[in-house]
């Protein structure tokens, strides 16, 4: 876990007891969920809410050709309690991929059109972008050669790319100090991606002295130019108060800026703030809205939380079928708590056709990941030998990635 994500997790969890559900193996601090656990053998009890580290871009976002997603718009006056989620793929058909829109509560903060999910405008590599074209294709030695020539001629994007190549050791031996030097050159000329990446180096003390204040300055510079990951990281520092005085409200504004630009970690952070009432009004509708946005943006922990909220009808209309779809996404991505909840749903036929083999399979995988469940243990032992053997075979295939 990176320092900013750990900072946010610690700040949000301060003074809050961890839930009884074991957290994922990475051992991040957990938050008390807003929903009370059902009494007996729940299919989808609240999970332990954890914060994921920010996703560091593989290449500076301003130079990557990515088609932006269609904007999410929350109609004025709409509410998640009166709008069912649009149907998406059934997990039994091989995974859920179809997008659907969440509706924010009337007067809520998601009531305006939201920016496209990608931070980058689409662009087609032309001659000056040969270095990035080679980078995108994994031809790092060619990218290094092109970028070196372009940087020598004063190419700003090439300077940032050289920093990235040295930072990640792509085509050259890794050298964070050299990476920082290239980033500094690009920052001096106003490149937002270089500012963000250099801020990460200062935050970690990688190739430069650890300096949270300098990291915050660089994140602020990048965030002011629309770099969403920088806004998210600045929000974590603002919430924790290491580089600046602690200010949960200001942190929430930064998270929202990043969330509206499509940053999944910031969307998840907004959900947690609304779930806990730290820096933003405690509001189950808005928490569910942002969990939904992050979930559809590929955030595994958000998929788990959103699935549980859909199952229990917290902040939106209950929909067990949709709940299972999001739990299946999170389970396939490796969330052991989601595996456990999915196993219960499959065992009971809640939101999905009952399947003893699939239920037992996910229980076996979750148990190996550290999630104990006496009810599912008993369910598994009561199955015929053939079912148990098929479940063990299916679990083994999952573990081997086949």
pLDDT tens digit sequence for 108-126? 444 333 333 334 433 333 4
Decide if pLDDT at 128 tops 90.
no
Q: What's the CA gap between 330 and 229, in Å, rounded?
A: 22
**C-beta atoms surrounding 272 within 10 Å:** 28
Q: In the prediction, which pLDDT does 318 show?
A: 96
Contacts with 311 (C-beta within 8 Å, 6 or more apart), sequence order: 43, 44, 318, 320, 323, 324, 327, 341, 345, 350, 351
pLDDT tens digit sequence for 142-152? 999 999 999 99
pLDDT band at 14 (very low <50, low <70, confident <90, very high): very low
Q: In the prediction, which pLDDT does 307 show?
A: 97
Q: In the prediction, which pLDDT does 47 show?
A: 61
124 contacts 130 by C-beta, under 8 angstroms: no
Query: What is the average per-residue pLDDT within 198-214?
Result: 96
| Helix, strand, coil % over all residues of the chain, rounded to 5 | 55, 0, 45
Q: What's the CA gap between 402 and 399, in Å, rounded?
A: 8
Instruction: Give the DSSP H or E segment for 279.
Output: none
pLDDT band at 29 (very low <50, low <70, confident <90, very high): very low
To the nearest whole number, what is the mean pLDDT of the chain? 77
Q: If you count them, how many residues does the chain have?
A: 402
Q: In the prediction, which pLDDT does 316 show?
A: 96
- Higher-confidence residue: 73 or 354? 354
Q: In the prediction, which pLDDT does 57 show?
A: 43
Decide if pLDDT at 367 tops 80.
yes
The angle subtended at Cα 75 by Cα 73 and Cα 76, nearest 5°, is: 135
Decide if pLDDT at 184 tops 60.
yes
- Higher-confidence residue: 139 or 242? 139
pLDDT tens digit sequence for 54-105? 434 434 433 322 233 333 434 333 333 333 333 333 333 333 333 344 444 4
pLDDT tens digit sequence for 250-290? 999 999 999 999 999 999 999 999 999 999 999 999 999 99
Percent of the chain at pLDDT above 90?
63
Q: What's the CA gap between 308 and 170, in Å, rounded?
A: 40
pLDDT band at 169 (very low <50, low <70, confident <90, very high): very high
Decide if pLDDT at 1 tops 90.
no
Percent of the chain at pLDDT above 70?
68
Contacts with 225 (C-beta within 8 Å, 6 or more apart), sequence order: 190, 192, 195
Give the chain's domains with CATH numbers.
300-402 (1.25.40.10)
- Higher-confidence residue: 306 or 44? 306
What backbone torsions phi and psi does residue 26 show, to the nearest 5 degrees? -70, -15
pLDDT tens digit sequence for 316-342? 999 999 999 999 999 999 999 999 999
Decide if pLDDT at 7 tops 60.
no
291 contacts 279 by C-beta, under 8 angstroms: no
pLDDT band at 129 (very low <50, low <70, confident <90, very high): confident
Q: In the prediction, which pLDDT does 39 show?
A: 34
Decide if pLDDT at 299 tops 70.
yes
Q: In the prediction, which pLDDT does 402 show?
A: 57
Q: In the prediction, which pLDDT does 244 show?
A: 83
Decide if pLDDT at 198 tops 90.
yes
């Amino acid at each position: 876990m990176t320092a900013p994500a750990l900072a946010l997790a610690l700040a949000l969890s301060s003074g809050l007891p961890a839930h009884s559900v074991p957290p994922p193996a990475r051992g991040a601090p957990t938050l008390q969920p807003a929903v009370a656990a059902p009494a007996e053998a729940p299919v989808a009890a609240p999970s332990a809410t954890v914060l994921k580290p920010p996703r560091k871009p593989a290449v500076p976002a301003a130079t990557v050709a990515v088609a932006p997603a269609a904007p999410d718009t929350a109609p004025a006056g709409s509410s998640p309690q009166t709008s069912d989620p649009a149907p998406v793929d059934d997990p039994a058909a091989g995974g859920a991929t179809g997008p659907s829109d969440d509706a924010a509560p009337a007067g809520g903060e998601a009531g305006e059109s939201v920016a496209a999910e990608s931070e980058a405008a689409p662009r087609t590599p032309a001659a000056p972008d040969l270095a990035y074209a080679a980078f995108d294709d994994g031809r790092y030695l060619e990218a290094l050669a092109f970028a070196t020539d372009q940087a020598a001629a004063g190419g700003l994007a090439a300077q940032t790319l050289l920093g990235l190549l040295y930072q990640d050791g792509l085509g050259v031996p890794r050298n964070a100090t050299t990476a920082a030097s290239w980033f500094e050159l690009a920052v001096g000329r106003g490149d937002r991606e270089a500012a963000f990446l250099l801020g990460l180096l200062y935050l970690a003390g990688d190739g430069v002295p650890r300096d949270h204040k300098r990291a915050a300055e660089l994140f602020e510079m990048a965030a002011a130019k629309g770099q969403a990951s920088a806004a998210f990281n600045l929000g974590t520092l603002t919430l924790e108060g290491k580089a600046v005085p602690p200010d949960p409200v200001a942190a929430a504004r930064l998270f929202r800026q990043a969330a509206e630009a499509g940053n999944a970690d910031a969307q998840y952070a907004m959900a947690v703030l609304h779930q806990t009432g730290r820096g933003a009004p405690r509001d189950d509708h808005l928490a569910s809205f942002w969990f939904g946005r992050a979930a559809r943006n590929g955030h595994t922990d958000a998929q788990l939380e959103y699935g549980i909220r859909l199952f229990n009808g917290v902040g939106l209309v209950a929909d067990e079928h949709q709940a299972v779809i999001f739990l299946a996404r999170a389970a396939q991505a490796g969330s052991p708590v989601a595996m456990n909840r999915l196993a219960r749903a499959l065992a009971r036929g809640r939101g999905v056709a009952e399947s003893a083999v699939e239920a037992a399979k996910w229980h076996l995988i979750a148990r190996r990941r550290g999630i104990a469940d006496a009810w599912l243990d008993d369910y598994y032992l009561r199955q015929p030998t053939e079912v148990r053997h098929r479940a063990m075979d299916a679990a083994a295939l999952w573990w081997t990635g086949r």
